[in-house]
């Protein structure tokens, strides 16, 4: 009998390897074709929505002064303004506003400056009551009385003091200007010209400092009738300083307190 040699079938793994090799050979082309056919889902920077603009900050809400703050502010403002007027009087110079009018009359007549200061300001209060209300008018009346009393009190403490005119014009007007700013910010004033300047600023938008400067120039020109020209020149420098301080520090929209 003749025996036939039996050969085992090739293992399935071998055929699987051949098949996988063929599939791997075809994979790159298929993968490229799949990538070409697949929809582009990557985000496009051009399709992104624009960034929303940042909103503008809300305007600050005015923080009102309390009663204690108002009283303290009026006291400080009156002290500064009265001492500034005392320095001007001791230096023999004038200034603008109703204070300048009262000083000019005082130099010409020898009458008491505190009394003249009150009398000169009285006619302006009808306008203040009508345009600014009773609260502002009463505060201003009290401030004028306090400034007049303060100026008289300073003169009692230093009865015979003499101050160089140029020093008096600069320091006196700086003190008076800062005092006026404090009073303005606490709804008060110390004179008819200040009332007119605040009304012009509220109604027309004009800076209070520039309005006062024009009115003060008129007062200084009138003072030439009773004062030497050199004194008027020094007084003009002081008036410019005073109104410059007010114009730089008290203007619409700059101060949010009420």
Could you write out the DSSP letters of every residue in 129-196? HHHHHHHHHHHHHHHHHHHHHHHHHHHHHSTT----HHHHHHHHHHHHHHHHHHHHHTT--SSHHHHH
Q: Is the residue at 225 inside a domain?
A: yes
Q: Dihedrals φ, ψ of 122, to 5°? A: -60, -45
pLDDT at 14: 44
- Pick the residue with more confidence: 13 or 173? 173
pLDDT at 20: 44
Q: Is the residue at 255 inside a domain?
A: no
Q: Is the residue at 130 inside a domain?
A: yes
pLDDT at 169: 93
The stretch 91-97 carries a mean pLDDT of: 85
Most confident of 12-16, 93-97, 211-215, 229-233: 229-233
Counted domains in the chain: 1
Q: Quick one: which of 214, 246, 222, 239 has its CA closest to 93?
A: 239
Are the C-beta atoms of 128 and 141 separated by less than 8 Å? no
Q: Dihedrals φ, ψ of 174, to 5°? A: -65, -45
The stretch 129-141 carries a mean pLDDT of: 82
User: Which residue reads 């949010």 in tokens?
Assistant: 256
Q: Is pLDDT of 186 > 70?
A: yes
Q: Which residues of 222-239 are buried (b: 16+ CB within 10 A; e: fewer)?
A: ebeeebeeebbebbbebb
Parent domain of 150: 67-249
Enter the tokens of residue 58: 């809300």
Q: Is the residue at 164 inside a domain?
A: yes
Residue 126: pLDDT band by 50, 70, 90 thresholds?
Answer: confident
Q: Is the residue at 7 inside a domain?
A: no
pLDDT at 19: 44
pLDDT at 3: 47
**What gap in Å lies between CA 210 and CA 58, rounded to an integer?**
31
Average pLDDT along the chain? 76
The stretch 105-113 carries a mean pLDDT of: 87
pLDDT at 203: 79
Cα atoms in the Cβ-side hemisphere of radius 13 Å centred on 42:
4
Q: Is the residue at 26 inside a domain?
A: no
Please give the distance of CA 112 from its chain centroid, rounded to a whole number: 37
The stretch 121-126 carries a mean pLDDT of: 80
Q: Is pLDDT of 138 > 80?
A: yes
The share of the chain scoring above pLDDT 90, in percent, equals 16
Q: In angstroms, what CA-CA distances link 215 with 121, 158, 211, 219?
A: 14, 31, 6, 7
* pLDDT tens-digit readout, 17-66: 444 444 444 444 554 444 455 455 555 545 555 555 555 555 556 666 77
Nearest 5°: the CA angle 211, 115, 139 is 55
Q: Is the residue at 56 inside a domain?
A: no
Are the C-beta atoms of 191 and 179 separated by less than 8 Å? no
pLDDT at 131: 75
* 3-class state of residue 92 by DSSP: coil
Q: Is the residue at 258 inside a domain?
A: no
């Amino acid at each position: 009998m003749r025996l036939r040699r039996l050969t085992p079938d090739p293992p399935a793994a071998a055929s699987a390897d051949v098949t996988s090799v063929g599939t791997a050979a075809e994979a790159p082309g298929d993968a490229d074709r799949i990538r070409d056919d697949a929809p582009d889902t990557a985000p496009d920077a051009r399709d992104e929505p624009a960034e929303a603009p940042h909103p503008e900050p809300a305007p600050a809400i005015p923080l009102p002064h309390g009663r204690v703050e108002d009283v303290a502010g009026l006291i400080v403002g009156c002290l500064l303004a009265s001492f500034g007027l005392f320095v001007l009087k001791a230096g023999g110079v004038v200034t603008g506003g109703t204070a300048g009018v009262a000083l000019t009359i005082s130099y010409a007549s020898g009458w008491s400056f505190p009394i003249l200061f009150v009398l000169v300001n009285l006619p302006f209060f009808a306008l203040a009551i009508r345009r600014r209300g009773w609260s502002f008018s009463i505060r201003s009346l009290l401030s004028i009385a306090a400034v007049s009393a303060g100026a008289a009190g300073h003169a009692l403490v230093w009865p015979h003091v003499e101050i160089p005119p140029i020093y008096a014009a600069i320091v006196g007007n700086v003190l008076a200007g800062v005092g006026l700013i404090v009073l303005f910010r606490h709804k008060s004033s110390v004179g008819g010209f200040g009332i007119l300047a605040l009304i012009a600023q509220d109604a027309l938008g004009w800076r209070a400092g520039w309005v006062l400067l024009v009115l003060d120039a008129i007062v200084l020109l009138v003072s030439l009738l009773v004062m030497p020209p050199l004194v008027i020149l020094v007084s003009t420098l002081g008036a410019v300083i005073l109104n410059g301080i007010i114009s730089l520090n008290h203007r619409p929209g700059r101060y949010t307190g009420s």
